[in-house]
Amino acid sequence: MARQYAHPEVLVTTAWVAEHQHDPNLRIVESDEDVLLYNVGHVPGAVKVDWQTDLQDRLVRDYINREHFGELCASKGISNDTTVVFYGDKNNWWACYAFWVFKLYGHEKCLIMDGGRKRWELDGREWSKEPEPSHPRSNYEARQPDRAIRAFRDEVLKHQRLGRPLVDVRSSGEYTGEFLHMPDYPQEGALRGGHIPGAVSIPWAKAANEDGTFKSARELEALYIKENKLKRGAATIAYCRIGERSSHTWFVLTYLLGFKKVKNYDGSWTEWGNTVGVPIAKGLNPLGDDG
């Protein structure tokens, strides 16, 4: 019998979304890297959450606070008991980021449409070009941020010094220090390249199939547990450049493989690579012995 995801209930198919898109207590949320895609075509009835303007407080380089998150949800017609289904481009990486932010503020009913925009397109399903729908304003009471799923720099430094598991989910070129961002992107955001000493390199996209869906539980277990020796019971921190790719890995480890203590270091390399006094390693050796 094939191994099952630890929490299969958090994944839904495009068929499920098509069938339930008119449910009154369900809200479909699109969140993309390419913020213009929503206007090109979106799942009928979906609202848009822009990771730059909706989820970020750019003055303090942090997420919107508890009050602003509650306001965002209320404006989209999302109540505390609303089931929210996230989807997007690029194997759902920004959808997982939005999912993580919703979990940060305690939203309970969060789902991911497996395969995102790509799977919806491959399944030949209808796109809408209508303006974003307007829903009656709801009441929303956000919780205090959940520190159990978010790591800060000083915590990461202590974690690193104790030799605890760190997962660098960026491209191999970013990990070695050759690049400051993924290939074909502007090489910006940090003064120094490399990785946190001791971190293993597991690029985030290895968890996805060609159609954007997540790989099977057996394949994910082989990648993270057998090949890279991560342990379900060990406190683990994932990071990337700004926290979006690592939120995808956080989702995989937490919900698909059942890891109990995973945190996303959203400051990631943009913070670490610009911080005075923190250690950096280059090259392929995960222990950083190659300098």
Whether residue 232 is predicted with pLDDT greater than 50 in this model: the reply is: yes
For the chain, give every residue range classified as CATH 3.40.250.10. 8-122, 153-272
- Of all residues in the chain, what percent carry a pLDDT higher than 90? 84
Please state whether the predicted TM-score (pTM) of the whole model is above 0.75: yes
Segment 39-50 mean pLDDT: 97
Answer yes or no: 96 catalytic: no
CATH of 8-122, one of 3.40.250.10, 3.30.450.20, 3.40.640.10, 3.10.310.10: 3.40.250.10
Q: Which fold is adopted by the domain 153-272?
A: Oxidized Rhodanese; domain 1 (3.40.250)
Q: Which residues contact 213 (CB under 8 A, 6 or more apart)?
A: 114, 115, 119
Sheet holding 236-239, edge to edge: 200-201, 166-168, 236-239, 262-265
pLDDT band at residue 289, thresholds of 50, 70 and 90? Answer: very low
Terminus-to-terminus CA distance in the chain, angstroms?
45
> Quick one: pLDDT at residue 186?
67
pLDDT at residue 235, as a whole number: 98
Higher pLDDT: 181 or 73? It is 73
Lowest mean pLDDT among 38-47, 107-116, 277-286: 277-286
Mean pLDDT score, 150-171? 97
Q: Which of 8-17, 184-193, 272-281 tops mean pLDDT?
A: 8-17
